[in-house]
Structure 1
Amino acid sequence: MEKLNNKKVSPVAWVPTLYFAMGMPFVVLNMVCTLMYKGMGVSDAQIAFWTSLIMLPWTLKPLWSPFLELYKTKKFFVVLTQVLSGIMFALVAFALNLPGFFAVTIAMLAVIAMSGATHDIAADGTYMGVLSKEDQARWIGWQGAFYNIAKIAATGGLVYLAGTFIDAFGVAKAWMIIMLIIGVIMCCLGTYHFFILPTDGKQAREGMTLKQSLTELWAVFVDFFEKKHIWYYIAFIILYRFAEGFVMKIVPLFLKASRADQGLGMSEQEIGLCYGTFGAAAFVVGSILAGYYISHRGLQHTLFKLALVFNLPFVAYTLLALYQPESLWLIGGGITLEYFGYGFGFVGLTLFMMQQIAPGEHQMSHYAFASGIMNLGVMLPGMISGVVSDALGYRHFFIFVLFCTIPALLITWFVPFTYPDKKKE
């Protein structure tokens, strides 16, 4: 085993699977569960609030990220959390048949959120510890692509399967099968990474007392907030995805809602088909193109364009809400535009956090701090999105979202760079 881990393992063997494993729990909790609960009769406001609240660990993960640098290895935590998440998804499957299924499954999903957030810290730490800065930029497109291929696989393939199973077995049993499939996928990924995932060669420091660990944690926090431009950076990473935070919960509900309720009246199969075909292709192309675009032009010269492409596709959902087309091609076209923009723009934010905020002695912890704050910018609008949508209706809600893109574009235009791009020879 040790011999295999000491060999140079190509990033192609682990970067795609590592970030697929990172994306799966996040997307299932954030999006797939909204459709599951909608089909099982839970209200929009409850769905949006609780499925946003359980995402809190992705925001709070900076509180325990330093401890992952003090104990065991990053690989240990990657494998452990993947297997734990798989087991918990299987338990969610069986809990769906209970009378109080909503409260019980939300509690279980909260445990998965804790496990998933911890996995993200260790996975990003592995990525940054194993790869050079040049390789990080080279693989950032693939990293983003496979993170969001998990999104496509879940919201496309698994939702489509859910629709098929609903017709055959009923709602509860259909979603039970889907949750079991997700559990098996996560356990298989954990097993694969046990054998394949490299380590960065850094062992945790052994024998530290609790007092020493807390002192170290405080030092990591202080170091983070003493970074140059840090308060501007915090505002930037919160606002970059602010509009997305509103639409993330509401789009699946909007697609599923009846036309009388200003929705598009789509079935699970139709939603899965649009996400899994149009969306899948657009996202992968967008992510990979963005990675090469950044590596060719440099992040400093491309960041605003990336933010523009990321935010403008929300216009597509506004048009879908206003005109409620029946053509699956038109609806799929809107989803395609949004997914291409998401894929193209998201990698810019990821690389910015890696190269402008994370660098330093506590690189893994500081990247966790940054990504946790970023998720706060998605979680907070997500928690109130159901209430806002109910109050405004889907049509006016998406117009409201367009106004939420303005702060993101303004702050990106003026964002300073602590580490400027290297000049191309």
Structure 2
Amino acid sequence: MGAFASATNDIASDGLYLIALKPKEQSFFVGMRNTFYRVGMVTGSGLFVMLAGFLEKKFGDPANAWSWTMVSVAFLMLTLTGINYLKTPNVLEKREPKTAQPSFKDVFGSFFSKKNILLSLSFVLLYRLGESQLVKMASPFFLDERADGGLGLSTTEVGFIYGTLGVIALLMGGIVGGILISRDGLGKWMMPMVFAINAPNIGYVFLSWLQPENVYFAASVVFIEQLGYGFGFAAFMVFLIFLADGIYKTAHYALATGFMAMGMMVPGIISGYMQEWLGYPGFFVWVVIATIPGFFIAYTVKYPLDFGKK
């Protein structure tokens, strides 16, 4: 039920973004939009984890701590739902009369008949191949005991790293990425951004080798990684806007983000098995190797070089 509700909300919010903003505005705000999307994820994996750690120390009972944390999550969701209900602008998508009620076949068929669609979908699936595995195992790596290959950080420390430093880095990277694409177009920044989203993964290799006791080493790696992620993800999302461009852009964007989710889910499923097989040092080396297809597909994928430029 949670996944169904999340997917439905994603489709609605993505559709609103595409309909309410002009194409040139979409690239400018894409960094901010992606940043706050990621902030939502970090809030769940960082700030609320930090809250749970604080309550665990206060109550001395992990179950009670997480129960109150979930109550806090529910309260936040209800509050945001009310704000969205009252403040979301009312916009309507303009359609030609002959396409007022398109069939599923029309929408689905027109998406897969787009030019270079297989290459484009390969980009969607492979751009974050390394990151999709890293994100699943980063927190366990920080929390696991040093004897097990982790860094042995506390729940509160991990929550602070992701919930504070990570959010700041995401804001910086995402906003700058969107502004640069809107100024120069996607073509100029595609390769720098694929480098930015993948290169910081090397930092986790060194963390797993050295296992530094100073928490600031881990915090620095996360800050750089999140900064690069925010910056590099802007190119990915602008490409999705290009892929969805057309009369059925809301539905096509939903299909594109479905493939995006697949590109995160499938590698994420195997990440735990890979870590158990290789250990943390070997796993993070594998993550770096897994970034290579992303570089290749970013170089070969076809799109207008000035797409997104104001």
TM-score range (shorter-chain normalised) is: over 0.9
Compute the displacement of 1:415 (Å): 1.4
The answer to whether 1:155 aligns with 2:45 is yes
Q: 1:138 aligns with which of 1, 21, 28?
A: 28
Q: 1:368 aligns with which of 246, 254, 271?
A: 254
Partner of 1:324: 211
Q: Is the 8 A contact 2:133 2:287 kept in 1?
A: yes
Q: Tell me how far apart the structure 2 counterparts of residues 136 and 265 of structure 1 sit (CA, whole Å).
A: 42
**2:53 counterpart SS class:** helix
Q: Tell me how far apart the structure 1 counterparts of residues 185 and 257 of structure 2 sit (CA, whole Å).
A: 21
Q: 1:296 aligns with which of 173, 183, 192?
A: 183
- Gapped runs of 5+ residues in structure 1? 1-110, 205-211
Partner of 2:284: 398
Compute the displacement of 1:148 (Å): 1.6
1:81-160 equivalences under 5 Å are 111-160=1-50
**1:117 counterpart SS class:** helix
Compute the displacement of 1:201 (Å): 2.1
Q: Tell me how far apart the structure 2 counterparts of residues 223 and 423 of structure 1 sit (CA, whole Å).
A: 22
Compute the displacement of 1:422 (Å): 6.2
Partner of 1:201: 92
Partner of 1:183: 74
The answer to whether 1:343 aligns with 2:233 is no
**2:219 counterpart SS class:** helix
Q: Is the 8 A contact 1:322 1:395 kept in 2?
A: yes
The answer to whether 1:280 aligns with 2:167 is yes
Question: What is the identity, as a one-letter code, of the residue corresponding to 2:83?
Answer: Y
Write the deviation string for residues 217-249 of structure 1: whole angstroms up to 9, x where unpaired: 121110000101111000001000111121121
Compute the displacement of 1:191 (Å): 0.9
Question: Closer, same or farther in 2 for the Cα pair 1:130/1:258, shift >3 Å?
Answer: same
Question: What is the identity, as a one-letter code, of the residue corresponding to 1:257?
Answer: D
1:215-364 equivalences under 5 Å are 216-354=103-241, 356-364=242-250
Q: Is the 8 A contact 2:186 2:309 kept in 1?
A: no
Q: Tell me how far apart the structure 2 counterparts of residues 138 and 385 of structure 1 sit (CA, whole Å).
A: 34
Partner of 1:166: 56
Partner of 1:99: none
Q: Is the 8 A contact 2:42 2:162 kept in 1?
A: yes
Write the deviation string for residues 12-50 of structure 1: whole angstroms up to 9, x where unpaired: xxxxxxxxxxxxxxxxxxxxxxxxxxxxxxxxxxxxxxx
**1:339 counterpart SS class:** helix
Q: Larger relative contact order (C-alpha < 8 A, sep ≥ 6)? A: 2
Question: Closer, same or farther in 2 for the Cα pair 1:423/1:167, shift >3 Å?
Answer: closer
Compute the displacement of 1:154 (Å): 2.5
Question: Closer, same or farther in 2 for the Cα pair 1:374/1:422, shift >3 Å?
Answer: closer
Compute the displacement of 1:420 (Å): 4.2
Q: Is the 8 A contact 2:48 2:159 kept in 1?
A: yes
Give the aligned length.
306
Q: Is the 8 A contact 1:241 1:374 kept in 2?
A: no
Compute the displacement of 1:423 (Å): 10
Write the deviation string for residues 102-158 of structure 1: whole angstroms up to 9, x where unpaired: xxxxxxxxx111101110001010011011011112211211121122233223321
Compute the displacement of 1:329 (Å): 1.1
Partner of 1:388: 274
Q: Is the 8 A contact 1:126 1:199 kept in 2?
A: no
**2:103 counterpart SS class:** helix
- Report the TM-score when normalising by structure 2: 0.94
Compute the displacement of 1:374 (Å): 1.1
Comparing 193-202 with 286-295, greater Cα deviation is found at: 193-202
Comparing 162-171 with 195-204, greater Cα deviation is found at: 195-204
CA RMSD of aligned residues (A): 2.0
**1:312 counterpart SS class:** helix
Q: Is the 8 A contact 2:27 2:309 kept in 1?
A: no
Question: Closer, same or farther in 2 for the Cα pair 1:353/1:422, shift >3 Å?
Answer: closer
Q: Is the 8 A contact 1:220 1:365 kept in 2?
A: yes
- Report the TM-score when normalising by structure 1: 0.69
Q: Tell me how far apart the structure 2 counterparts of residues 315 and 199 of structure 1 sit (CA, whole Å).
A: 45
